[in-house]
Amino acid sequence: MSVGAEHPHDSLRSHDIVDEVNERQGVLEVVVVSPARPVYEGKASHLYVTGKDSSLGIWPKHADIVSALGTGPLRIFEADGTVHRFAISGGFLKVGGSKVTVLIDKATGPDEVDVAAVSKELDEVKQALQHPKSDEEYDALRTQRDWCQARIALAR
């Protein structure tokens, strides 16, 4: 389907709906921190983050929310096309007006992942998952498995 078929002639100056939405709606001020370090601070057109139960897409003028985070990717998109990618685990997201604050338990960037070491850790976790000693250990091992998989996916 062509853009012209869906939008009236000349309604989109750039013929890119994402660019048009960004222009009309503004930018987000994003701060991402972990206990270990500041992770990101800057302006973004939008971001995607792994919530506890599902992924969340945050755009300018998003409803104010507070959400628990899960384990998986965080992608921050700047207006110039730059994408900042991280693997995260746990924490909270708060959206208020154009301000997005992400407090993360653990975060890593693609250059910080030693794929061989994480793959070895993943194999050990998968072995331990075969015979967990308690429900608590099972939950902890699943979280560790997800963290390993998120880091490996980030590095690829």
Average pLDDT (11-19) is 56
Q: What is the pTM of this model?
A: 0.80
For the chain, the structural domain boundaries read 26-110, 113-155
**Beta-carbon count within 10 A of 46 CB:** 22
Per-residue pLDDT, 5? 39
Average pLDDT (55-83) is 94
Average pLDDT (10-27) is 59
Whether the predicted pLDDT of 23 surpasses 60: no
- Rounded to the nearest integer, the mean pLDDT of the chain is 88
* 2-to-13, 16, 52 alpha-carbon distances in Å: 14, 11, 36
Distance CA 57, CA 68 (A): 14
Class of domain 26-110: mainly beta
* pLDDT cut 70: percent of the chain above it: 84
The tens digit of pLDDT for each residue in 92-104 reads 999 999 999 999 9
The tens digit of pLDDT for each residue in 70-128 reads 999 999 999 999 999 999 999 999 999 999 999 999 999 999 999 999 999 999 999 99
**In 3-state terms, what secondary structure has residue 135?**
helix
